[in-house]
Amino acid sequence: MLRCEHLSRAYRRGGGEAGEVEALRDVSLHIREGEYVAVVGPSGSGKSTLMNILGCLDRPDSGVYCLHGRDVSRLEGSELARVRGEEIGFVFQGFQLLPRLTAEENVALPLLLQGVPARERLDRARALLTQVGLGHRLRHCPAELSGGQQQRVAVARALVRSPAVLLADEPTGNLDAEATGEVLSLLERLHDRGRTIVLITHDEAVARCAERRICISGGRVQP
């Protein structure tokens, strides 16, 4: 499903080659359909840089990234954005829900932008919210939901366009222990139903919930 070969990515600091930070160095990895993988490493190890490339938000300087059988490592902005919309479902640490929209409107929003008719949008949003255990909170706004519930709405929204991969960047970073358990058990359930999940975290305990761990340190994948 995702295959990276010899990816590298450097950032230029203050202009000039002298200030380069090599954020990823020769990263190769392979994630199969239906796998639940955690990418784990300390702060500054290159997790966000890798996540940006896996999520088609950024391109590597060198190396190949194939997503769902297609080499996307050289795509230009608008093409990359299209692949991102179709293939990737994002979940972020801060939920990133729109505060004035209800749970079902938040989940339906990506379909609105895609031109799906209203009836179908709401049907899909409600089905997904029910799947994440929020069938009784369809009309609540984010401020009326707990942190764990908000993150479950965000997971439902990430799934609404049926992406190839669910990419979650520190999804429990803002949550207390109980809400963390809620979100991790949801990811576990989605994995049981065949979803491909990549969970990015600095937290070893969170990473242990995945089926497999890829450890990254100093921009390199550890053997």
Does 13 interact with ligand ADP (rule: CB under 6 A)? yes
Site string for Mg ion, 31-70 (x = CB under 5 A): ----------------xx----------------------
Q: Which of the listed partners (ligand ADP, Mg ion, none) does 23 bind, with a CB threshold of 5 to 8 Å by partner kind?
A: ligand ADP
At position 72, the amino acid (one-letter code) is: V
Residue 223 CA: distances (Å) to CA of 9, 162, 220: 20, 32, 9
146 binds Mg ion (CB under 5 A): no
Paired tokens of 88 = 């990737």
Q: Which stretch binds ligand ADP (CB under 6 A): 36-44, 87-95, 109-117, 118-126?
A: 36-44
38 binds ligand ADP (CB under 6 A): no
Extract the runs of DSSP E, i.e. beta strands, from 13-128: 20-31, 36-40, 62-67, 70-71, 88-91
The Cα–Cα gap between 184 and 122 comes to 26
150 binding partner (options Mg ion, ligand ADP, none; Cβ < 5 to 8 Å by kind): none
151 touches ligand ADP by CB under 6 A? no
CA atoms lying within 13 Å on the CB side of residue 31:
27
Q: To the nearest whole angstrom, how small is the minimum distance from the Cβ of residue 24 to ligand ADP?
A: 8
Q: 28 - beta bridge partners?
A: none
Q: Is 131 in the site for Mg ion (CB under 5 A)?
A: no
The answer to whether 101 and 109 have CB atoms below 8 angstroms apart is yes
Q: Which residues of 159-195 are buried (b: 16+ CB within 10 A; e: fewer)?
A: bbbebbbbbbbbbbbebeeebbebbbebbeebbeeeb
Among 2, 29, 41, 159, binds ligand ADP (CB under 6 A): 41
Distance, C-alpha 182 to centroid of its chain: 17
Q: Is beta strand 36-40 parallel, antiparallel or unpaired with respect to 197-201?
A: parallel
Closer of 46 and 110 to ligand ADP (Cβ): 46
Chosen residue from 33, 44, 71, 112 binding ligand ADP by CB under 6 A = 44
Which residue from 29, 45, 104, 105 is in contact with ligand ADP, where contact means CB under 6 A? Answer: 45
CB of residue 37 to ligand ADP, shortest distance in Å = 16
Q: Which residues bind Mg ion (CB under 5 A)?
A: 47-48
The residues binding ligand ADP (CB under 6 A) are: 11, 13, 21, 23, 41, 43-49
